[in-house]
């Protein structure tokens, strides 16, 4: 076998890694966002944990959900930018992918589409595993 048949294009390797990282972060971000929405509905709609002396609703699941989602969203944005720049997609795709981290359930839906399109592009570039 020649050396060219056994080696993988560096772009393909990097694109596969970026796709996997995006996929993982989309699921983590989406899950935390759904938990945050559940927290807000329980807290403000159902007043599940009551209110404190000042009349402020008490956390139900925990205040950490908002902080965790905020920091995870920053990591998600880095993975979005990484994948977007490797795939050389248009600017609208970047905006859509970034918005998916703050619109409930959108990250799950968009992840499937982005993952399929990224894999198709990688395969078209000769990234088929043999």
Q: Is the pTM of this model over 0.85?
A: yes
Report pLDDT for 51: 86
pLDDT tens string 29-67: 999 999 999 999 998 898 888 888 998 888 889 889 999
Give the Å distances, CA to CA, from 107 to 47, 81, 82, 114: 28, 15, 16, 10
Domain extents in the chain: 11-88, 92-129
Find the mean pLDDT for residues 106-111. 97
- At residue 3, does pLDDT exceed 70? no
Say which residues have a Cβ less than 8 Å from residue 62's Cβ, sequence separation at least 6: 39
79, 22 in Cβ contact below 8 A?
yes
The closest alpha carbon to 113, from 96, 129, 128, belongs to 96
Report pLDDT for 58: 87
């Amino acid at each position: 076998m020649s050396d060219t048949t056994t080696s993988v294009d560096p772009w393909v390797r990097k694109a596969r890694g970026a796709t996997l990282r995006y996929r993982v972060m989309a699921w983590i971000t989406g899950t935390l966002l759904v938990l945050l929405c559940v927290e807000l509905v329980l807290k403000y709609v159902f007043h599940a944990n009551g209110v404190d002396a000042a009349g402020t609703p008490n956390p139900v699941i925990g205040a950490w959900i908002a902080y965790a989602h905020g920091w995870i969203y920053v990591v998600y944005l880095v993975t979005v930018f990484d994948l977007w720049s490797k795939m050389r997609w248009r600017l609208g795709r970047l905006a859509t992918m970034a918005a998916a981290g703050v619109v409930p359930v959108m990250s799950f839906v968009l992840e499937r589409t982005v993952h399929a399109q990224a894999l198709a592009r990688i395969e078209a570039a000769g990234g088929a595993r043999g």
